[in-house]
Amino acid sequence: MTQPEALQTPVYRTASGRVYNFSAGPAVLPEPVLLEVKEELPVYRNLGTSILEISHRSPEYAEIDASAKALLRKLLGLGEEWHVLFLQGGASLQFHQVPLNFLPKDGSADYLITGAWAQKAYKEAKFLGNARVAASSEDRNFSYIPDPSTWELDPKAAYLHFTSNNTIYGTQFQTEPEAEVPLVCDASSDFLSRRITPERYGLIYAGAQKNVGPAGVTVVLIRDDFLQRRNQPLPTMLDYGTHAGKLFNTPPVFAVYIVEKVLRWLEGLGGLPAIEAINDRKAALLYERIDRTDFYRGTAEPGARSKMNVTFRLPTEELEQRFVAEAKQAGLIGLKGHRSVGGLRASIYNACPIEAVEALVSFMDYFEQRYG
Ligand SMILES: *Cc1c(COP(=O)(O)O)cnc(C)c1O
């Protein structure tokens, strides 16, 4: 060999030829779900038409709605005291709807500010009433979760709001907050990724497009005794009571139909204990690669690292841009960090297979060898 062999850019594809997708949201869906949708889209069962073209009061859609709700209850271990709602408006509307319903005129609510979404939730609450900052990690650019010993909790607060996983900054509560008051959780980017303790919560909400389905539906879980405390009267559509236990108006049928399939897929894997173990392995693989050399640098403090959104930087912005571009060429998409923080972000939600993380680690090795 007279010339040194140039490093070949690797190419990665799933068995079916799809690229590996690390998008933060809308995000990758389980492939078996997509294939099932494709198969039954034009003609659902014996209807002679699709599920999208019939009444949401039809027995066929009622079955999908009931199945999705039953699966959520089963996966999370929710008893009869929980309401399961499929709403619209995204997690962002929940930022407003939660305080509209639960922030009393003569009371207050506590907020843990651990990122941009938490800040937005707090802003909407302040717009309506007395919202307090119980703790914030803004002083170090949201790279950590404030230690519970520093939280200034009000035992009379109507609720304590927190964001279990900070999608943009790549941090995650490693354990669920402990408080005397009911927790309200924005779980949009780690919903159903691990087990939770439902008893601590009054309300949990999650936009589906990160970890449970396509965009267009927001899953809201409300414990009945918490629901009963809501302010009255409220505009009909924004009153959670309107949607508890019934379909008040047309739900986002296509999104719920896909969510139901994702939930069945998750149950088939073995539910939350099984997916939690898989998610632990994926995150460990990736953080181990980041930590192996100084070329890659994780941006979240080690004790707060997210198992869903892994954020990291390279020595220069130019290298980061090159990484994103070459990774895309190689079949690894969606790795650009959020526009507000830059760098790289690999979102490795439930539907992201371990092979995707293995491919990314292999690409990171290649890239460092070439440019490090
Ligand atoms: C994506 C995201 C949101 C915003 O969700 P929308 O459905 O776009 O309103 C809110 N909170 C968290 C934690 C998120 O990851």
Residue nearest to atom 12 of ligand 1 (CA): 188
The tokens for 167 are 């999608």
365 is catalytic: no
* Distance from the first to the final alpha carbon of the chain: 24
Q: Are 136 and 121 in contact (CB under 8 A)?
A: no
The whole-angstrom separation of Cα 313 and Cα 153 is 34
Distance 117 CA to ligand 1 centre (A): 7
What is residue 74's predicted lDDT score, i.e. its pLDDT?
Answer: 98
Model confidence pLDDT, tens digit, residues 326-361:
999 999 999 999 988 889 999 999 999 999 999 999
In this prediction, residues 177-206 reach a mean pLDDT of 98
Q: Which of these, 75, 65, 44, 367, lies nearest to 245 by C-alpha position?
A: 65
The whole-angstrom separation of Cα 356 and Cα 159 is 38
Model confidence pLDDT, tens digit, residues 16-45:
999 999 999 999 999 999 999 999 999 999
Torsion of CA 115, 234, 80, 111, to 10 degrees: 20
CA separation (Å) from 288 to 121, 124, 203, 209, 299?
33, 38, 35, 28, 14
pLDDT band at 5 (very low <50, low <70, confident <90, very high): low
Is the domain defined by 36-269 classed in CATH 3.40.640.10? yes
DSSP H or E segment with residue 133? strand 130-136
What is residue 8's predicted lDDT score, i.e. its pLDDT?
Answer: 83
In this prediction, residues 148-167 reach a mean pLDDT of 98
Average pLDDT of the chain, as a whole number: 97
Q: Summarize the annotated binding site as residue ranges.
A: 57, 91-92, 117, 167, 186, 209, 249-250
Catalytic residue among 69, 210, 282, 336: 210
Distance 18 CA to ligand 1 centre (A): 26
The whole-angstrom separation of Cα 322 and Cα 328 is 10
What is residue 340's predicted lDDT score, i.e. its pLDDT?
Answer: 81
pLDDT of residue 2 exceeding 60 = no
The whole-angstrom separation of Cα 116 and Cα 138 is 9
pLDDT of residue 1 exceeding 50 = no
Q: Which of these, 90, 61, 97, 73, lies nearest to 250 by C-alpha position?
A: 61
151 is catalytic: no
Identity (one letter) of the amino acid at 92? S
Q: Are 285 and 276 in contact (CB under 8 A)?
A: no
In 137-260, the DSSP E strands lie at 160-163, 165-166, 171-172, 183-186, 201-207, 218-223
Per DSSP, the residues of 12-29 read ---TTSPPEE--SSS---
As annotated, the residues of the chain forming the CATH 3.40.640.10 domain(s) are: 36-269
**Hey, how many other C-beta atoms are within 10 angstroms of the C-beta on 73?**
16
Q: Is the pTM of this model over 0.75?
A: yes
Which residue in this structure is represented by tokens 């079955």?
63
As annotated, the residues of the chain forming the CATH 3.90.1150.10 domain(s) are: 271-371
Catalytic residue among 65, 69, 117, 336: 117
Catalytic residue among 186, 190, 239, 282: 186
pLDDT of residue 14 exceeding 90 = yes
Q: Give me the architecture of the 271-371 domain, per CATH.
A: Alpha-Beta Complex (3.90)
What is residue 9's predicted lDDT score, i.e. its pLDDT?
Answer: 84
Q: Which atom of ligand 1 is nearest to the CA of 93?
A: 9
Measuring from each residue's beta carbon to the nearest atom of ligand 1, which residues come in under 6 Å? 25, 90-92, 117, 163, 167, 186, 188-189, 207, 210
Q: Strand pairing partners for 143?
A: none
- Supply φ then ψ for residue 360, to 5 degrees: -65, -45
In this prediction, residues 207-227 reach a mean pLDDT of 98
Q: Which stretches within the chain are classed as H helix?
A: 31-40, 59-76, 90-102, 116-128, 208-211, 224-227, 240-243, 253-269, 271-292, 317-330, 354-371
The whole-angstrom separation of Cα 324 and Cα 341 is 15
